[in-house]
Chain A
Amino acid sequence: LSGSPALRLPDRNSASPRRSPSPSQPPMARRSAPLLRRLVSSAPPLPGHGGGARRTVTYMPRPGDGTPRPVTLIPGDGIGPLVTGAVEQVMEAMHAPVYFESYDVHGDMPAVPPAVIESIRRNKVCLKGGLATPVGGGVSSLNMQLRKELDLFASLVNCANVPGLPTRHQNVDIVVIRENTEGEYSGLEHEVVPGVVESLKVITKFCSERIAKYAFEYAYLNYRKKVTAVHKANIMKLADGLFLESCREIAAKYPSIEYNEIIVDNCCMQLVSRPEQFDVMVTPNLYGNLVANTAAGLVGGTGVMPGGNVGQDHAIFEQGASAGNVGNDNLVEQQKANPVALLLSSAMMLRHLQFPSFADRLETAVKRVIADGKYRTKDLGGTSTTQEVTDAVIANLD
């Protein structure tokens, strides 16, 4: 709480003395009262709320909700193990009611081991570092395989300015919701004759409808005002036309949410000049990839953007943009990968598991560390190692 001036908010309970954290923490029940008081008086606005609305913490759990939940953990390749290690340390420090079942999966395996899929089906939630997909080789992307196998049809990336991190654009708060299973990534390619290759882009009404439904539902539940559909229907009239048709049908059912459409090339141009105009964006698979990465780059890059993939029954949380980007060997050797993206994704995961106050604590600590500016990894302009950032986050936990 002795944080930087940027994060100090008016303390309504100024009568009560501030408690400095004691070395031996009292048990959970006794800590919760001052914790609640502090949260109510100084919780920063959560992402996606535009700095205005504050969420109340009167969350009434059901009896037994505090039992530790198992979560599948896939450290992955490259910097994956580094950053998932950071998450494990922070969860430990917070005494969060989750425990991890770790599985070794690498991008060059032919398929995801059935034991891992079993585990995710059982636990319903997974946290994952990146899996590197070899380029042009004979192996199909394991990231894609997981998504298809578990039918995680929506991928969500939240791109918002992090306070204290200077970027070229301000007031950016975009959520990109991307269809995750079909479109250009159907993997259906074949060589017609030598030197001529075809790739099928498949768009179905079923998938387009459910992603549109998810996008509008998300906007409704998170008090978002506008949903923009990104397409190229002037050229791909049937395919993207079908996608747009589905979006329009669902939009009609949510009259209080504004809906508009934008062609993907114009969209990218607008993103780099006036990103403030976008709120929630719903896109088919490939455009979603590009738009999410562009939006993530606007506010700080792969290292800071949280994201997740969600389906009817399961959810996998991973770094928001570019799940296949596992950094280069240098980063791994010097241990300088940025754990912020995965830490923020794990906060999303905690909320998904209905542990909101742990999520808030984690997010607050991470944001404080970034705003402070002392411990930043290379991609944010600093020189710290992963461990230093992790330690700083733990030190900043309430």
Chain B
Amino acid sequence: VFNVAGVPIEWEEHYVGTEVDPRTESFLTWESLESVRRNKVGLKGPMATPIGKGHRSLNLTLRKELGLYANVRPCNSLPGYKTRYDDVNLVTIRENTEGEYSGLEHQVVRGVVESLKIITRQASLRVAEYAFHYAKANGRERVSAIHKANIMRKTDGLFLKCCREVAEKYPEITYEEVIIDNCCMTLVKNPGTFDVLVMPNLYGDIISDLCAGLIGGLGLTPSCNIGEGGICLAEAVHGSAPDISGKNLANPTALMLSAVMMLRHLQFNDQADRIHNAILQTIAEGKYRTADLGGKSSTSDYTKAVCDHI
């Protein structure tokens, strides 16, 4: 698709290794990470971490080594692919490094376990800054911070304080705070009322998957991770689907839309728009759809249809 659209980029391909690289303590090679650090932009397919082999998860390695602090997922209803919700047009921005997923747990005594949720000013400010910057750069009007600060007063309270500080620097963008219960309920009843959502780690995980469900699932949702130093790693958030691997049946829409996000980050807006429209048109027409969308086309047929529409 990039070839047909004439996108002026060169790919550096890297693969997950077959043995643990001691420099990264995982199957990801040091070279791959260096490459991302150098180029600052990347596109990643789904990766599966083998369970129980005693090494770091691949996604966790990427996140820690590259300092990927924000996960951005735009969720837009696809015209032509009907779900129960037609007017979804929101972006979820999730803090990706701390919060409830710090991995700090311990057993106090037998039968009593403690798990630490950590919120720092630095990480909260960072993700809030990115959220408002993204909103401004993409012409969004409203940023909503999702929290449970009525119960978790200090942790989510700190998160909210940071969001408020950043909001003051962007007076043209409306800022509001929504408790997570109300957010869930409103998302399910009236998703059109939300614009940009910024959240700590756990809520972000759940809400971004909920929003993906609203538009049709992980097979259609793009995603992009923002890291320190302006790194942008676009990825598909669905699994690696080993059962259909190699059979030319997979739906490439999620990865393609993520690649479009990456192009916009690189400010190749013209090509990004053309590819995006081509994808939307192909799905709207309905002639070439992969199996998960209820059609019968193969990956290559669908890809060819998208190329034809560019």
Binding site for B on A (CB under 8 A): 133-138, 141, 144, 168-169, 184-185, 187, 189-191, 194-206, 232, 235-239, 241-242, 264-266, 268-273, 286-287, 289-290, 293-294, 296-298, 301-302, 321-322, 324-325
Using an 8 Å CB-CB cutoff, how does the interface string of B132-165 with A read, 1 for contact, 0 for none?
0000000000000000111111111110100000
Q: How far is the CB of B45 from chain A (nearest CB, A)?
A: 20
A269 and B213 contacting across the interface, CB-CB below 8 Å: yes
Which residues of the partner chain B approach A199 to less than 8 Å between Cβ atoms?
116-119, 152, 154-155
Check if B195 is an interface residue, CB within 8 A of chain A. Answer: no
Return chain B residues, CB-CB under 8 Å to A190: 154
- Secondary structure of the A contact surface, majority rule: mixed
**Cβ of B177 and Cβ of A135 under 8 Å apart?**
yes
19 further interface pairs, Cβ-Cβ under 8 Å (given A189-B153, A202-B112, A236-B105): A133-B150, A135-B149, A135-B160, A136-B153, A136-B157, A138-B153, A195-B158, A196-B118, A197-B154, A199-B116, A199-B117, A199-B118, A239-B105, A241-B113, A242-B111, A268-B207, A272-B188, A273-B217, A324-B179
B186 CB, min distance to chain A CBs, angstroms: 7
Q: B118 to A237, Cβ gap below 8 A?
A: no
Interface residues of B in 200-228 (CB under 8 A from A): 202-203, 205-210, 212-214, 217-218
Q: Which of B117, B151, B189, B212 has the most CB of A within 10 A?
A: B151
Q: How far is the CA of A333 from the CA of B75 in the complex (A)?
A: 37
Q: Could you give, for residues 282-296 of chain B, a 1 whenever the CB lies within 8 Å of some chain A CB and a 0 otherwise?
A: 000000000000000
Residue of B nearest to A134 (CB): B150
Given contacts A269-B217, A294-B210, A197 and B155 within 8 Å (CB-CB): yes
| Interface flags, B75-88, vs A, CB<8A=1, else 0 | 00000000111000
Residue of B nearest to A138 (CB): B153
Which of chain A's residues has its CB closest to B155's CB? A199
Chain A nearest Cβ from B230, distance in angstroms? 24
CA distance A135 to B105 in the complex (A): 28
30 A-B residue pairs with CB within 8 Å: A135-B149, A136-B156, A184-B117, A187-B151, A189-B152, A189-B153, A189-B154, A197-B118, A197-B119, A197-B154, A202-B114, A203-B115, A205-B110, A241-B113, A265-B208, A265-B209, A271-B188, A271-B210, A272-B84, A272-B188, A289-B148, A290-B206, A293-B180, A294-B210, A297-B185, A297-B187, A301-B189, A322-B182, A324-B179, A325-B179
B residues within 8 A CB of A200? 114-117
Set of chain B residues within 8 Å of A265, measured between Cβ atoms: 205-206, 208-210
CA A269 to CA B216, docked complex, whole Å: 9
List chain B residues, Cβ under 8 A from A236: 100-101, 105, 115
Q: How far is the CA of A298 from the CA of B154 in the complex (A)?
A: 31
Q: How far is the CA of A138 from the CA of B119 in the complex (A)?
A: 19
- CB <8 Å contact, A302 and B185: yes
**A271 CA / B217 CA spacing, docked (Å):** 12
B120 close to A (CB within 8 Å): yes
Cβ B114 vs Cβ A201 within 8 A: yes
Minimal Cβ-Cβ distance residue in B for A268 = B210
CA distance A397 to B112 in the complex (A): 50
> Given A169-B84, A264-B206, A269-B209, A293–B152 Cβ distance below 8 Å?
no
Q: How many residues of B contact A (CB 8 A)?
A: 58
Contacts of B113 in A (CB 8 A): 202-204, 238-239, 241-242
| B111→A205 contact, CB < 8 A | yes
* Docked CA distance A141–B148 (Å): 12
Residue from the list B106, B185, B210 in contact with A296, Cβ < 8 A: B185
The answer, yes or no, to whether B184 is at the interface (CB within 8 Å) is yes
B180 neighbours in A (Cβ, 8 Å): 289-290, 293
Flag if A135 contacts B150 (CB, 8 Å): yes
Query: A137 vs B117: C-alpha distance in the bound complex, in angstroms?
Result: 20
Q: Is the CB of B84 within 8 A of A238?
A: no
With both chains docked as a complex, state the minimum distance between the C-beta of B158 and any C-beta of chain A, in angstroms: 5
Contacts of B117 in A (CB 8 A): 184, 198-201
Beta-carbon contact of B121 and A195 below 8 Å: yes
| Contact status B149-A136, CB under 8 Å | yes
Taking the closest CB of chain A, its distance from the CB of B254, in whole angstroms, is 14
Given contacts A202-B113, A238-B115, whether A185 and B185 have CB atoms under 8 Å apart is no
User: For A202, what are the chain B residues with a Cβ–Cβ distance below 8 Å?
Assistant: 112-115
- CB closest residue in chain A, given B101: A235
The reply to whether the CB of B122 lies closer than 8 angstroms to some CB of chain A is yes
**Does B107 belong to the interface (CB within 8 Å)?**
yes
Measured between beta carbons, the chain A residues less than 8 angstroms from B112 are 202-205
B156 cross-chain contacts in A, Cβ below 8 A: 136
Complex alpha-carbon distance, A138 and B210, angstroms: 32
Is there an interface contact between B182 and A268, defined as CB atoms closer than 8 Å? no
Closest 8 pairs between A and B when the two form their complex, measured CB to CB? A297-B188, A269-B213, A205-B111, A195-B121, A297-B185, A265-B209, A189-B154, A268-B210
Closest to A264 in B: B206
